[in-house]
Structure 1
Amino acid sequence: MKNDLERTNTKQAKLKLSGATCASCVFTIEHAGRKVQGVADVNVDASKGEISVSYGGNAGSLERIKEIVHRLGYSAEIDWDTVRDA
């Protein structure tokens, strides 16, 4: 975790991912996603078409990851049904 505030308010969510099929895609998305302020961790499972995110509770972090994924040339949609406290 990046700070104590995030530790107490950490949430987890998933984004539906398409277009990412290789290890390089996974690395690129994870690396870029982990740079987003408020994000504790990002894990991509290309075979499931899923991005798992642990973040500080601000939904803006999820929107930012979605934007980054789109800029990288892939498609992502937040699965709001998966948002939960960590």
Structure 2
Amino acid sequence: MKNITLQLEQLTCPSCVKKIETALTNANGVNEVKVLFTSSKVKVSFNDEVVSGEEIAKIVHNLGFDVLSTK
């Protein structure tokens, strides 16, 4: 298992949190997702044999959110 934290541009609404959580939870290889609304961070635990951190960031980006950095 690996963990990644995505720093997003400011999240503006609680429905954004739900949108991200739903998309990532349904992605193959993702085990746990936690979106921190106040800090605009997304913490993801995933199986790196199934999905990469770059693919996770791309999923979030394709939802319309700017990913500023990944750790």
Distance 2:11 2:5 in 1: 15
Q: Secondary structure at the match of 1:16?
A: strand
Identity score, percent: 36
Q: If the length of structure 2 is used for normalisation, what is the TM-score?
A: 0.82
User: Is this contact kept in 1: 2:5–2:43, CA < 8 A?
Assistant: yes
Instruction: State the secondary structure of the residue aligned to 1:65.
Output: helix
Cα RMSD after superposing both structures? 1.8
Instruction: Give 1 or 2 for the bigger CA radius of gyration.
Output: 1
**Structure 1: stretches of 5+ with no match in the other structure:** 1-9, 80-86
* Poorly superposed stretches of 4+, deviation over 4 Å: none
Aligned equivalent of 2:66: 75
Matching residue of 1:11 = 2
1:52 maps to which of 26, 43, 50: 43
Q: Which runs of 5+ in 2 are unaligned?
A: none
Under a length normalisation based on structure 1, what TM-score does the superposition of the two structures give?
0.69
Is the 2:25–2:32 contact (alpha carbons within 8 Å) kept by the matching residues of 1?
yes
Partner SS, residue 19 of structure 2 = helix
Q: Matched residue pairs, number? A: 70
